[in-house]
Amino acid sequence: MKSLHFCLLFMIVSFTVSRPVEAQDQAGFISLDCGLVPKETTYVETSTNITYKSDANYTDSGLVGKINDAHKTLVQQPLWALRSFPEGERNCYNFNLTVNSTYLIRGTFLYGNYDGLNQSPSFDLHIGASKWTSVNIVGVTDTVMPEIIHVLTQKRLQVCLVKTGKTTPFISSLELRPLINNIYIAESGSMVLQNRVYFPSDSTSIVRYDEDIHDRVWNPVSDDDSSSISTDLQVQTNNLYDVPQFVMKTAAIPKDASAPWSLVWTIDNTTALSYVYMHFAEIQDLKANDLREFDITYNGGKLWFSQFRPNKLSILTMFSQVPLTSSNGEYNFTFEMTSNSTLPPLINALEIYTGLEILQLQTDKDEVSAMMNIKTTYDLSKKISWQGDPCAPQLYRWEGLDCSYPDTEASRIISLNLNASGLNGTITSDITKLTQLSELDLSNNDLSGEIPEFFTDMKLLKLINLSGNPKLNLTVPDSLQQRVNNKSLTLILGEKVKMNPTAKKESKKVPIVPIAASVAGVFALIVILAIFFIVKGKKGKSAEGPPLSVTSGTAKSETRSSNPSIMRKDRKITYPQVLKMTNNFERVLGKGGFGTVYHGNMEDAQVAVKMLSHSSAQGYKEFKAEVELLLRVHHRHLVGLVGYCDDGDNLALIYEYMANGDLRENMLGKRGGNVLTWENRMQIAVEAAQGLEYLHNGCTPPMVHRDVKTTNILLNAQCGAKLADFGLSRSFPIDGECHVSTVVAGTPGYLDPEYYRTNWLSEKSDVYSFGVVLLEIVTNQPVINQTRERPHINEWVGFMLSKGDIKSIVDPKLMGDYDTNGAWKIVELGLACVNPSSNLRPTMAHVVIELNECVAFENARRQGSEEMYTRSSTNFSHTSASEFSPGAR
């Protein structure tokens, strides 16, 4: 067996890159030359055309340094300067970005003996509250370039350098690049690059911007057992991944075509979840009888894909639907020619990632914002070492804070001690955003102004220490005094105690209790309170019911009170808030059997509010199922849940707003009368299929939607499609069984007849419903029409096709502007999906692959290079998919 081995390292020898091409748009790029001075300086790096600027505005610590002059000729300008962090354990860069957006983040480290110590620095790199990687510099001129693809859960992002030994952390450059959301998908939301390679014949150049518009770094790989082929022709690379032309115009093939050929690599962390992306394109000019077809297996013969044929001069990306694991950390992907093939396997490019394990949740985003504002208001950056996430990880919690650390929710700040921190000015209202605060110490500062009344509304606040602030007006607001009087709050004002205006004179006649006694009393009270809260917490936990779950099986009656965990989610919204965001239900977006959907506004974003009608057949069971599902699944083609209301009899689901309504409305011309183009329809079909395929293969446990139909496919302002309405969704087993018994639910016309007949539910039931949707997309015909010779759309399409004329069923509104090959393919795919036998239906992974080919046909047509498509080439009877079956884009 011939094998191509390569190491997974962050090291590169130099900063050499491929030739620059025409300038690309750098919108959203953040390119920091760390240590660049003066801080207003910017420059364009000549080999990449990237504009760099100083990092000074993104961090408030560190020292500027420069590598030894002797090493400058080996590297490009972004590595000449650096910033080191000799003080503090954790030092961070801070960014304000867009929540839920995806960024490629890369740090570059070149020691260059900047300090004259000839050391080998070693330290950790954190992203938010989680460890990203360890940076270990071996040689003076070695360059380390760790990279991560990270999904932001908050708008604030911190990249932190953490001291782990005696050497000083440093960084040469830091780069952030926006990516299309969810093209790289990990269970944890973020993934660490292990390697990204391509296979040139005579080039050792690293490929990055502006060959790669996303500025990914592609490393060249070759060995003695493989050869490289290349083409001068243009390769169509405009799928979601935008792999560079320079990369896709080359490919590796084995020298011995008759023997199996393997790509082998090893990952040090044997418990890591791995994600593999392979990019293919046929770049040779094949003769009439030539065929390149091969099987791909994984670690010991597990089938990854069979009978694979690369597209001619067009990219196809294969990626693992679920994360891969290896007990010894070794991965072996074997490529072997099929018996029909005349040409050996090939591969153009490969990306390997591991999921980033999130061991601790970050601090609540509102509290992070509050603490950042407090830091700015009192100019604390030079007085206190506040870097990174306030509470997490616990080892690096901010000085003066105590936090709670719940298992499934964000950390919260419960104590803030700013004693003798040089505070001046008034007491900031940002403190009120620390809603879980129980103790606040602002003593021995230079605060002025009034004691704010907002302390009264902080119901969990048990202790406030304002002593030692000589400029502070110690008059206590009446409402706050009431809390002091009923002993729900201890207020320490020191030797100038003024409880209220009427007590002013009286206080002069009463001896002052020594401050030491006050502190001793307060300490005792704190101990008592701590014991009380610990006991209360234990009682609270023991009183909790079982967590809310969505299970498959025969439907049973249930009471709302038996499912308290839904109440504990942090996206719960009150009914008065619902009234406010909808302006008292002013604008109706639509109505259905569940109730009415209203337009709303929430935090400057538009939302859709679905109110459950009291007479709706969709009850609390379906409501909680949808909430629970959407709180744990995240995909760019599933409608996102913004929040929910479970307030007495008022049940509401708050979704992201989809400006263009549902697919059925658009097909019927009810959204402004514009006809959906064939290109629109193909893209909508692909995106809806990807969302459904994610439910089947990307969730743990997998989910069956049970109500796939055109009215549950929603379109945003750009006609991007998202699957919606998960109230009937159910989990299905993953341990050897492929179906569950459950009460039949769904919509007539879309309902799988096998499921209806047997009550056995499987993911193939969704495939049937999606097949009906595909036929609707092509024909724009109602699913059931009693006036037709064949009432059901499945039967009607089959009947019409028996006459051999695709034009007789394609939507006449398209006026013939569609790809005939793609139309045949999508109709046959739809008919395969609605096969009466579920065993003969394709999986959603296959459906996604086939639909991508339909998109490719349409793209080729628009570029004037339409190719013939033979209908007999589609065969769904084989079983090429397994749990390792890749998706394709």
Q: If you write DSSP's letter for every residue of 580-640 in order, what string do you get? A: HHTTTT--EEEEETTEEEEEEEETTEEEEEEEEPTT-SS-HHHHHHHHHHHHH---TTBPP
Q: pLDDT value at position 63? A: 95
Spatial separation of the C-alpha atoms in residues 566 and 551, rounded to whole Å: 15
Contacts 24+ apart (CB under 8 A), 457-460: 457/432, 458/431, 458/432, 458/434, 460/435, 460/436
Residues constituting the chain: 889
Q: Which of the pair, 110 or 645, is modelled with greater confidence?
A: 110
Q: Model confidence at 489, in pLDDT bands (50, 70, 90)?
A: very high
The answer to whether the peptide bond before residue 393 is cis (omega within 30 degrees of 0) is yes
In the chain, the percentage of residues whose pLDDT exceeds 70 is: 81
Which residue type sits at 642? V
Instruction: For domain 663-888, give the fold.
Output: Transferase(Phosphotransferase); domain 1 (1.10.510)
DSSP string over 703-752 = EE-S---GGGEEE-TT--EEE---TT-EE---SS---EE----S-TTTS-
Q: What percent of the residues of the chain are helix, what percent strand, and what percent coil, each to the nearest 5?
A: 25, 25, 45
List pLDDT tens digits, range 97-128: 998 899 999 999 999 999 999 999 999 999 98
Q: Where in the chain is the domain with CATH 2.60.120.430?
A: 2-195
Q: Where in the chain is the domain with CATH 3.30.200.20?
A: 560-656
Calculate mean pLDDT across residues 366-373.
Answer: 92
Contact 633, 703 (CB under 8 A): yes
Q: pLDDT value at position 249? A: 96
Q: pLDDT value at position 555? A: 28
List pLDDT tens digits, range 782-793: 999 888 888 899
In the chain, the percentage of residues whose pLDDT exceeds 90 is: 52
Contact 200, 223 (CB under 8 A): no
Spatial separation of the C-alpha atoms in residues 429 and 115, rounded to whole Å: 44
Place of tokens 């420069």: 66
pTM (2 decimals)? 0.58
Q: pLDDT value at position 10? A: 40
Q: pLDDT value at position 729? A: 57
Q: List binding-site positions for ATP.
A: 610
Q: Could you give the residue ranges of the DSSP H alpha helices within 453-545?
A: 478-485, 504-509, 515-543
Calculate mean pLDDT across residues 605-634.
Answer: 73
Calculate mean pLDDT across residues 487-502.
Answer: 65
Q: List binding-site positions.
A: 610
Spatial separation of the C-alpha atoms in residues 764 and 770, rounded to whole Å: 10
Q: Active site residue: 55, 215, 646, 707, which one?
A: 707
- The helix (run of H) or strand (run of E) holding residue 376 is helix 365-377
Indicate if 707 belongs to the active site: yes
Spatial separation of the C-alpha atoms in residues 562 and 810, rounded to whole Å: 51
Spatial separation of the C-alpha atoms in residues 620 and 652, rounded to whole Å: 11
Q: Which CATH architecture has domain 560-656?
A: 2-Layer Sandwich (3.30)
Q: Model confidence at 515, in pLDDT bands (50, 70, 90)?
A: very low
Q: pLDDT value at position 775? A: 96
Per-residue tokens: 858: 């349409």
Question: What does the mean pLDDT of the chain come to?
Answer: 82
Calculate mean pLDDT across residues 750-762.
Answer: 83
Secondary structure of residue 779 in the 3-state scheme: helix
DSSP string over 16-66 = -BPPP-S----TT-EEEETT-SSTT-EEEETTTTEEEEESGGG-S--EEEE
Spatial separation of the C-alpha atoms in residues 590 and 851, rounded to whole Å: 30
Spatial separation of the C-alpha atoms in residues 421 and 437, rounded to whole Å: 19
pLDDT at 56 > cutoff 80 = yes
Q: Model confidence at 551, in pLDDT bands (50, 70, 90)?
A: very low
Q: Which of 700, 703, 684 is nearest to 692 (CA)?
A: 703
Contacts 24+ apart (CB under 8 A), 597-603: 599/657, 600/654, 602/642, 602/643, 602/654
Q: pLDDT value at position 214? A: 95
Q: What is the CATH number of domain 366-535?
A: 3.80.10.10
Pairing status of strand 650-656 against strand 641-647: antiparallel
Contact 448, 425 (CB under 8 A): yes
List pLDDT tens digits, range 661-713: 899 989 888 776 678 899 999 999 999 999 999 888 877 778 888 889 999 99
Q: Model confidence at 731, in pLDDT bands (50, 70, 90)?
A: low
Axis-axis angle for helices 820-833, 763-779 (nearest 10): 150
Q: What angle do CA 443, 507, 418 make, to 5 degrees?
A: 5
Q: pLDDT value at position 437? A: 95
pLDDT at 436 > cutoff 80 = yes
pLDDT at 576 > cutoff 60 = yes
Instruction: For domain 2-195, give the fold.
Output: Jelly Rolls (2.60.120)
Q: Which of 623, 634, 573, 624 is nearest to 601 (CA)?
A: 573
Which residue type sits at 731? S
Calculate mean pLDDT across residues 517-536.
Answer: 48
Q: pLDDT value at position 99? A: 87
Contact 827, 801 (CB under 8 A): yes
Spatial separation of the C-alpha atoms in residues 812 and 657, rounded to whole Å: 31
Radius of gyration of the chain (CA): 31
Q: Where in the chain is the domain with CATH 3.80.10.10?
A: 366-535
pLDDT at 463 > cutoff 90 = yes
Calculate mean pLDDT across residues 868-872.
Answer: 36
Place of tokens 């409608």: 639
For 271, half-sphere exposure in the C-beta direction (CA atoms, 13 angstrom radius) is 2
Q: Which of the pair, 650 or 408, is modelled with greater confidence?
A: 650
The answer to whether the peptide bond before residue 701 is cis (omega within 30 degrees of 0) is yes
Q: Which of the pair, 331 or 702, is modelled with greater confidence?
A: 331
Q: What angle do CA 611, 613, 614 make, to 5 degrees?
A: 135
List pLDDT tens digits, range 287-320: 999 999 999 999 988 888 889 999 999 999 988 7
| CATH class given for the domain over 198-355 | mainly beta
Spatial separation of the C-alpha atoms in residues 319 and 279, rounded to whole Å: 9
Q: Which of the pair, 428 or 614, is modelled with greater confidence?
A: 428
Q: Where in the chain is the domain with CATH 1.10.510.10?
A: 663-888
Contact 123, 163 (CB under 8 A): yes
Spatial separation of the C-alpha atoms in residues 590 and 610, rounded to whole Å: 9
Spatial separation of the C-alpha atoms in residues 696 and 762, rounded to whole Å: 10
